[in-house]
Structure 1
Amino acid sequence: MSTTQRSESANSSLKIWTNTHKSMYQLVLSVEKIIDNIWEKKSDEDITSMNAVPKLSSFYRIEKDASQVYTRKVMKLFKKILKESQLGEVDEIEKDVLYQVTIKEHPDIKNWFMESYMVNINKSEDMVSCSCKGYEFEGLLCSHAIKVMHHVNMFHLPNRYIMKRWCKDANACTKRSLLERSMDIGSTQEQESIRIATLKPRVMKVLDKASKSSEAFNKFQRLFGMVEQGMQDVVSEEETLTCEIGTSTRTPSQGIIDPPISQCKGKRKQPQRFKPPSEAKKPRKCGICGSKQGGHNARTCPLKKANDDDIESDDSQEDAEVELDSEYEDLSN
């Protein structure tokens, strides 16, 4: 079977972890590993975005506001937009209401045609809209709107134009659902992965705070020893309870295995992939007659056999003539 995903990255991941020779049980385990890997990468990226401080390329207040809410990848796009906002000229059509942004030339694009955009603005309600519809298309304010905002002394980033999907805490809802799922009873591989994904960001924040000073580090060492001892006691109690109850505590997912395979007679055929015509085995060419469809080679060629027969007949005739000559000499003597 093959996937029908819109993104080729899903197909690539499945091809790395699976193949046609794996059973259904192994396929399920491989898919679980892929999901765990995706969650781990997402958690690492969230932690990096939370703790890393992006380097600002200007002194604009709007860039500082964006660096505090946007993720790293979105911040790169916003820096590019902020750089493009330095281009063009602003013409006031109606004060504090309507402005026109004209871009006559672009230093990075050859054969640039002059463009003009109309920007509506409302300072009292922190509203701005551009005729290019950049925010409606990308979810980020366009360079023309930022240009007019700087012109009218609006240097902050309005909250109404900060989309949740681009923020550092975009996974807050997902994390709350993970916290609820992590409280479920059981110890399957999926639940363990959910609990790790829930605890890892909190632990990383505590580690970051504990590394700030020696006093915080020593306090963390003492508390961590108590937590470690408590976790050891809990694990020991669960192991003892499991041994007393027996196999009744095993979840259904842990008891599912592949059915027994009956051995059939003869050699089992291995599944083979479809080979295109370019990879098909080409017939060998005979070195004597040059035929490709005769089903023979130079050793079993009919022409070679006929030549060998002729040579043998010539040799036998020569031997007969030699014998006659020798008999004639004997008689003459």
Structure 2
Amino acid sequence: MGLVCRHMFLVFKGAQLKQLPTQYIVDRWRKHLSCSACRGRQSKEHLPKSGATELWSEINTCVGLVGESTTRQGRMVQVLKELQAEFASDGTGTEATKGNSAAIQALCVVQPPTTITIKAPAQAKNKGSGKRLKSSREIAIESNGKVGRKCGLCGEYARHNARSCPSRCNMV
């Protein structure tokens, strides 16, 4: 596409370039630059452009030339409104649509689909579905109802073993 990727900066650094070549600088990156910075720009007249691309390129160049000057900004808005009124009154242009969808369609040369089919999503179980977290009280109640293990020393089913058997304390 002619745009600079992040790897190109390393190539430029290796070639010991101090500035990016002007053919790699896109006009929309220069909106904030002053008029004197824009004058040094080389033209790209030799590159073929579509009508919409050239239009946006010229608009972005004009915005860069306007800069921070409020009088220039007001003049550009006035000229654009006059052009809008002229194009709307001649009846040959496309009907004005709300938003920028017409401009995007013209720029990308793609038409949106006529119908959109939305299908129901596939059912999927959530992680941990079907498991309920129990409170510590509920766990204590359940463990209280269970019969303990058989003690190897006294032979009873209780909550102790041979090491913690109460009868062992009596033996010692």
TM-score by length of 1: 0.22
The structure richer in strand per residue is 1
The structure richer in helix per residue is 1
TM-score by length of 2: 0.35
